[in-house]
Amino acid sequence: MNILPLNKTFLDLYGVLPKQAFFAPGRINLIGEHTDYNGGHVFPCAITYGTYAVVRKREDQLVRLYSENFPNKGIIEFQLNELDYDKDHDWANYPKGMIRYIIEAGYQIPNGFECVIKGNIPNGAGLSSSASIELLTGVLLDGLFQLGIPRLDLIKIGKRVENEFIGVNSGIMDQFAIGMGKEKAGILLDCQTLKYVYVPIQLDHHKIIIMNTNKRRELADSKYNERRSECEEALRQLQQKLSIEALGQLSEQEFEDNKHLITNEVVRKRARHAVYENRRTIKALKELKAGNLVAFGQLMNQSHLSLRDDYEVTGIELDSLVVAAWQQPGVLGARMTGAGFGGCAIAIVANEEVENFIASVGAAYREKIGYEAEFYVANIGDGAKEIEMEAVDE
């Protein structure tokens, strides 16, 4: 995205030009869904779509924020001593929460600032636009005031904003992928220990296609927290016999040997997904390191089936996209990505089939659902960072 138009918007709104520019990506999760808060592994990567900001320090304590994605909200203003959640501030609660918790962590933010933000992540698509704004604000404050915040601390602050300030009981994957992303690499992250390894992803003959259902999903209003509490109940019942801290510590066999401890069949299904999905993610790493993309794609397919049948977070829109994708030539694998309940799916598609894939899956979806899906070719990019003030290529 070219950021020069943001400079013009900034000048029109604030009467001066910005001094610095920042970017934070969105993310996709290749495999390992709903495992992060279950102490398992995830395998996300940052993408080259994301959120941009141009910014300038003020002399006083006023913070002024404007998003080109929500122009009807206008400029949202607050003082540095007014950092409580405010429903009327809408999207600006994400930056506000970051400012508050960074100050609470002992860092000095002596001045306010003016900012213009624009994202090219589709809103509500499940590519983690909220965590992108959180980490964007983190690197912006770090760069603007030379705070020297360790990146992992910024990631943890972003998660705290999501959990405590916004009230969504999510795991750390989104902030971690966006904060630590690396071009042409996925990240295998152990969410229990935060140990991670970068894994080169060689897709010379294939593309990752993001398929947006165009069904918006609002995480705080979804059944996300319900799924989490069901897994916590399963863990409590397993702990009657097993000395474990998280479902992610179990092998498939250990789960099968002890699943009778979980008295509710629905709760047992939720736990089965968490355990088997975690093991799939570890197997996926092995296959990717061996260059076996076919086996990796098969694990993606199994992941979607588990999310559909055991975790029940897909829905007709995501299932329609994924089933249509499975039927196309040149497709190695396809699955929903993100929390589910709408949002996006991903597919790994042979280069020469991409055009046909988009046309065929789009037509099947339109016929089944009655409205259009959107498709994006995703490139794996770097994590949140300061960028040059001149034009930036997508």
* Nearest to 121, CA basis, from 257, 19, 24, 8: 24
Distance of alpha carbon 173 from the chain centroid: 7
Per-residue exposure over 285-303, b if at least 16 CB sit within 10 Å of its own CB, e if not: bebbeeeebebbbbbbbbb
The structure tokens listed for 153 are 């601390």
On whether 35 is known to bind a ligand per the annotation, the reply is yes
134 is in an annotated binding site: no
Distance CA 394, CA 225 (A): 34
Quick check: 80 and 109 in contact, CB under 8 A? yes
129 annotated ligand binder? yes
Whether residue 99 contacts residue 78, with contact meaning beta carbons closer than 8 Å, is answered with no
Q: Is 128 annotated as a binding residue?
A: yes
| 229 annotated as belonging to a binding site for a ligand | no
Active-site residues, by number, are: 174
Residue 166 phi, psi dihedral angles, 5° rounding: -90, -35
Question: Parallel, antiparallel, or unpaired: how do β-strands 41-42 and 185-190 relate?
Answer: antiparallel
In three-state secondary structure terms, 26 is: strand
Question: Residue for token digits 């970068």?
Answer: 198
Assigned token pair, 387: 């960028």
Q: How far is CA 200 from CA 181, 297, 334, 382, in A?
A: 12, 16, 20, 13
Q: Is 338 annotated among the ligand-binding residues? A: no
> Which residues make beta-bridge pairs with 243?
none
Question: Helix 173-180 vs helix 129-145: angle between axes, to the nearest 10 degrees?
Answer: 50
36 is in an annotated binding site: yes
> Kind and range of the H or E element at 25?
strand 20-29
Q: Is 311 assigned to a binding site?
A: no
**Left if phi > 0, otherwise alpha if psi is -120 to 50, otherwise beta: which for 181?**
beta
Annotated binding-site residues for substrate read 33-36, 224
Annotated binding-site residues read 33-36, 67, 124-130, 162, 224
Annotated binding-site residues for Mg(2+) read 130, 162
Annotated binding-site residues for ATP read 67, 124-130
